[in-house]
């Protein structure tokens, strides 16, 4: 899952991407996920894709411009409109109740034996109103809004502190809110970078720029480089090289443009055109640069993995391409990849490098010629213009919001205080998390939830032991993985690893600027990463902050983390009944544990290394069960003619089913357990609806739609079917031989 950040994601990502201790690729890091896919600017690096997979609304709350929210600005109407030729109420096997407008007061109420989710949540869905500035609403998203408000109060209630790190956050907030200075500076900082790129008159000069210019001063990077935990030995850091972003997010869109891809293209083209003209280009020049950018990316996208391919279980294995320095030097060809790492950034030479997509690098090197110089240069400028818009003056900021609205289908604006406090929480997550923890989180809740995790992990031993498709040898290894599983609850026990000593940000009153603050954060993050690179990986360090409305499992550390902002409001209350507690927080904890044994987590052993710990026969049986789960989801169509990308859903669906199974086992030991309350509370956990733009983005996300997370999960279990008397012929019935719960 993710922590939602509003505003311009990519510009902010440049500033703080190196703050994270490790980089985990998209399909590795698993979150419980009310994932709200991003809709504004394309991510700058593979790091962004890794984090987006976990946190959306960056939780599934992620970083800037989460699909669930826009920063605010114009009254622009959404451009992601329903196609009049499509009947969106024709979903199979159930109505897509997630899509706004599909459920109204006039919608016939189904029998819960036919559509459990709609039957128990119809009235709530019909009355839900998506708030202005957002494109999604529901139970988990209400907690998101609560977190937004809680974080906002940290800044509106404070102006000065003796704590260095807290003052950094307050200073950055003041820079965001200083519209007088932002408007006075305008696009000048961006123009300086654009002019530098525009002056590049040869491939040799571009090579010099990419290999020698300090990384924080570069714009529109062609590739991503940095450190991550080694997939083969998770205790050590390794340098990686990965693909950069593309304007349409998904390389597949350059091969066959979808309706959603067309909305992204139109919105970002419009934003780029405005930004380029504001930078001083003529209308004709701006159009030419955008055309060149798309033409260059169209060629490059031929050799890039699609988002669907990046979401499949085998992606982890496919990116683990190990190169010596000599081999990488040969593979980079004329590109200065090693120079970027060693000279522009300052990393030492290494014995081993990970190259995520060798075919992409070969294609980029093929295109890296004098004949393509203008296209390459224009591509860098266009992406920089789009990604920087939200961080400049008010006009650019409002344009960036309009772009996000057009893609997500949201309307209106959020208050500056809400937007910018959220941005600061994502740029400086740990200083803000300290403040958040001190004000909102309690030791009593931490202790209680910690005890729940222990109980659920222990119960999971029974699930493993009773898995009739596993040999004793594999069961023993799986039990060892459970025994070694770590946990993080609400906030880190030790804050020392998260300090920002050495980082300085001048406030607005002291003459600081937002652009300079971004550079300072980036410089600090890179220097900290370089310092830690030769040291062992700190597996206890959290990858995401307590301010995120999310939870996650990290297979390279073999630990689960329940983030503080998640355990609030309708998701966790100490006064909840056991039934509601088990249905909400309990199933999420079980979900995260299940990720250790889903199609991706199963590739990592108890020490967090990508290692074959299954017998060959057991692994084959596991894959057969996973394939059956994929085939099950492949039959689902949210609406007429809409496929569902089932191949990327299996991990999250497996985890949902594991979470429910674990809590049903615990419930069976409770006297007078109210199953009706439990199942209804589970439906409430996932109650949500969103715009068409949000739904289109969700199809490309690893998390199933909310109504499917309920119906598809519950119909796997006799406890549910028997309690409500669901039989063959009912819409919720699934015969035992057709069930796809892996565990």
C-alpha separations of 253 from 313, 429, 467, 578, 693 in Å: 22, 33, 41, 46, 16
330: domain CATH number is 1.10.1380.10
Tens of pLDDT, residue by residue over 682-710, are: 999 999 999 999 999 999 999 999 999 99
Q: Select from 408, 431, 451 the last residue of a domain.
A: 408
Strand ordering across the sheet containing 559-563: 30-31, 551-554, 559-563, 486-490
Tens of pLDDT, residue by residue over 326-354, are: 999 999 999 999 999 999 999 999 999 99
**What is the structure's pLDDT at 238?**
98
- HEC per residue, 709-726: HHHHHHCCCHHHHHHCCC
Nearest to 223 by CA among 145, 340, 305: 340
Taking the alpha carbons of 319, 323, 325, 327 in that order, is the dihedral positive or negative? negative
Q: Is the peptide bond before 93 cis (omega within 30 degrees of 0)?
A: yes
> What are the residue ranges in the chain where pLDDT is below 70?
1-80, 159
Within-domain flag for 678: yes
Tens of pLDDT, residue by residue over 150-190, are: 999 999 877 678 899 999 999 999 999 999 999 999 999 99
Within-domain flag for 355: yes
Within-domain flag for 97: no
**What is the structure's pLDDT at 129?**
95
What CA dihedral angle connects 293, 297, 299 and 300, to 10 degrees?
140
**What is the structure's pLDDT at 49?**
33
Looking up tokens 């669901």 gives 726
**What is the structure's pLDDT at 32?**
64
User: What are the φ/ψ torsions at residue 599 (nearest 5 degrees)?
Assistant: -65, -20
Q: How far apart are CA 50 and CA 246, in angstroms?
A: 15
Kindly give, in sequence order, each residue whose CB lies less than 8 Å from that of residue 449, ignoring residues fewer than 6 positions away.
489, 490, 562, 567, 572, 585, 589
* Cβ atoms 451, 586 nearer than 8 A: no
634: domain CATH number is 3.40.390.10
Looking up tokens 């559509």 gives 115
Q: Select from 408, 428, 447 the last residue of a domain.
A: 408
Q: Select from 390, 408, 426 the last residue of a domain.
A: 408
**What is the structure's pLDDT at 33?**
53
* Cβ atoms 389, 10 nearer than 8 A: no
User: What are the φ/ψ torsions at residue 315 (nearest 5 degrees)?
Assistant: -60, -40
- Please give the model's pTM, rounded to 2 decimal places: 0.91
Q: Provide the number of structural domains found in the chain.
A: 2
Within-domain flag for 35: no
Tens of pLDDT, residue by residue over 561-596, are: 999 999 999 999 999 999 999 999 999 999 999 999
* Cβ atoms 31, 551 nearer than 8 A: yes
Within-domain flag for 604: yes
Look up residue 612 and give its two tokens: 């074959």
**What is the structure's pLDDT at 124?**
97
Angle at 430 between CA 426 and CA 432, to 5 degrees: 70
**What is the structure's pLDDT at 11?**
32
Nearest to 561 by CA among 55, 72, 76: 55
Please tell me whether residue 53 adopts helix, strand or coil conformation. helix
Within-domain flag for 360: yes
Within-domain flag for 162: no
Look up residue 638 and give its two tokens: 């949210």
Neighbours of 472 (CB within 10 A): 9
**What is the structure's pLDDT at 80?**
64
Find the domain containing 652 and state its range.
577-738
Q: How far apart are CA 614 and CA 618, in angstroms?
A: 6
Within-domain flag for 534: no
């Amino acid at each position: 899952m993710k922590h939602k950040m509003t505003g311009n994601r990519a510009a902010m990502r440049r500033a703080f991407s190196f703050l994270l201790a490790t980089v985990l690729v998209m399909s590795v890091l698993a979150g419980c996920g009310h994932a709200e896919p991003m809709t504004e600017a394309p991510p700058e690096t593979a790091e962004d894709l890794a984090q987006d997979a976990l946190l959306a609304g960056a939780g599934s709350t992620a970083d800037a411009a989460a699909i669930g929210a826009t920063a605010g600005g114009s009254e622009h109407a959404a451009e992601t409109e329903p196609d009049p030729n499509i009947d969106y109420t024709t979903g199979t096997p159930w109505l897509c109740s997630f899509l706004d407008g599909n459920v109204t007061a006039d919608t016939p109420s189904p029998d819960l034996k036919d559509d459990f989710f709609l039957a128990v949540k119809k009235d709530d869905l019909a009355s839900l109103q998506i708030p202005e500035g957002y494109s999604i609403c529901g139970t988990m998203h209400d907690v998101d809004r609560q977190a937004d408000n809680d974080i906002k109060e940290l800044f509106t209630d404070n102006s000065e502190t003796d704590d260095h790190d807290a003052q950094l956050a307050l200073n950055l907030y003041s820079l965001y809110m200083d519209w007088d200075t932002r408007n006075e500076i305008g696009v000048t900082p961006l123009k300086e970078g654009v002019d530098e790129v525009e002056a590049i008159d040869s491939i040799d000069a571009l090579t010099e720029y990419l290999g020698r210019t300090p990384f924080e001063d570069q714009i529109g990077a062609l590739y991503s480089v940095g450190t991550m935990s080694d997939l083969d030995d998770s205790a050590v850091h390794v340098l990686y090289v990965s693909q950069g972003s593309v304007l349409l997010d998904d390389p597949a869109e350059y091969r066959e443009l979808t309706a959603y891809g067309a909305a992204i293209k139109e919105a970002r083209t419009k934003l780029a055109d405005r930004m380029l003209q504001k930078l001083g280009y003529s209308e004709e020049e701006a159009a030419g640069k955008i055309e060149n950018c798309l033409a260059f990316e169209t060629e490059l996208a031929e050799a890039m993995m699609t988002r669907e391919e990046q979401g499949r279980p085998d992606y982890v294995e496919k990116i683990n391409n190990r190169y010596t320095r000599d081999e990488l030097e040969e593979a980079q060809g004329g590109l200065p990849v090693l120079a970027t790492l060693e000279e522009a950034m300052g990393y030492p030479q290494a014995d081993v490098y990970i190259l995520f997509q060798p075919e992409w690098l070969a294609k980029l090197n093929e295109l890296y010629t004098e004949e393509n110089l203008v296209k390459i240069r224009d591509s860098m400028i266009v992406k920089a213009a789009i990604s920087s818009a939200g961080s400049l003056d008010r006009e650019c900021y409002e344009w960036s919001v309009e772009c996000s609205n057009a893609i997500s289908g949201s309307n209106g604006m959020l208050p500056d205080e809400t937007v910018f406090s959220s941005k600061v929480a994502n740029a400086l997550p740990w200083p803000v998390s300290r403040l958040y923890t001190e004000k909102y989180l309690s030791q009593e809740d931490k202790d209680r939830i910690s005890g729940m995790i222990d109980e659920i992990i222990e119960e999971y031993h029974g699930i493993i032991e009773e898995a009739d498709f596993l040999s004793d040898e594999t069961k023993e290894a799986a039990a060892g993985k459970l025994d070694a599983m770590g946990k993080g609850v609400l906030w880190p026990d030790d804050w020392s690893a998260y300090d920002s000593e050495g980082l300085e940000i001048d406030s607005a009153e002291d003459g600081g600027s937002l652009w300079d603050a971004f550079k300072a954060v980036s410089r600090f993050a890179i220097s900290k990463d370089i310092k830690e690179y030769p040291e062992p990986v700190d597996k206890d360090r959290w990858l995401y902050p307590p301010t995120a409305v999310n939870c996650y499992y990290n297979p390279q550390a073999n630990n689960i983390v329940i983030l503080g902002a998640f355990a609030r409001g309708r998701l966790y209350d100490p006064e909840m009944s056991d039934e509601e507690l088990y249905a909400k927080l309990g199933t999420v904890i079980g979900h995260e544990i299940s990720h250790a044994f889903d199609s991706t987590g199963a590739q990592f052993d108890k020490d967090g290394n990508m290692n074959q710990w299954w017998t060959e026969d057991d692994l084959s049986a596991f894959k057969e069960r996973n394939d059956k789960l994929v085939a099950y989801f492949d039959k689902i169509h949210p609406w007429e003619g809409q496929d569902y990308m089932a191949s990327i859903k299996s991990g999250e669906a497996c985890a949902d089913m594991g979470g429910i199974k674990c809590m049903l086992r615990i419930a069976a030991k409770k006297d007078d357990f109210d199953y009706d309350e439990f199942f209804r509370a589970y439906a409430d956990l996932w109650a949500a609806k969103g715009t068409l733009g949000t739904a289109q983005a969700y199809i490309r996300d690893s998390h199933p739609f909310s109504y499917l997370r309920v119906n598809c999960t519950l119909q796997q279990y006799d406890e549910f079917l028997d309690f409500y008397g669901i039989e063959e012929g009912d819409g919720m019935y699934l015969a035992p031989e057709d069930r796809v719960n892996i565990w």
